[in-house]
Amino acid sequence: AKGVAEAEKLLPQMRKQGIAPDTVSYNSLLDECGRRGYGVKAALVFNDMQAHGVQPDRTSYLLGIRAWGSSWPCLTYLYEEAK
């Protein structure tokens, strides 16, 4: 959990320094959430990504699928978002 918590702190720190996190920044965090099985955390990261105007790419959706693989409602949400 330490890796996810530390990575999660980086996004606000980047914004404070005038650096806008991009898709790669968010995908790194989504990847870490997926590796650790943190599906709910990945969903929050995905929502935060969109709330800050960062457009998910193909990799974002693939990482989301991996993180939420056992959650049918989350997979349905991803499908609708990807259309």
Contacts of 56 (CB under 8 A, 6+ apart): 23, 26, 46, 49, 50, 64, 81
Quote the CA–CA distance of 36 and 17 in Å, as a whole number.
29
| Contact criterion met (CB below 8 Å) for 28 and 7 | yes
How close are the terminal C-alpha atoms of the chain, in Å? 32
Residue 37: pLDDT over 90: no
| Contact criterion met (CB below 8 Å) for 77 and 65 | no
Sorting pLDDT into bands at 50, 70 and 90, what band is 80?
confident
pLDDT (tens digit, 9 = 90+) per residue, 8-35? Answer: 888 999 999 999 999 999 999 999 988 8
Mean pLDDT of 47-74: 86
Which pLDDT value is given to residue 75? 67
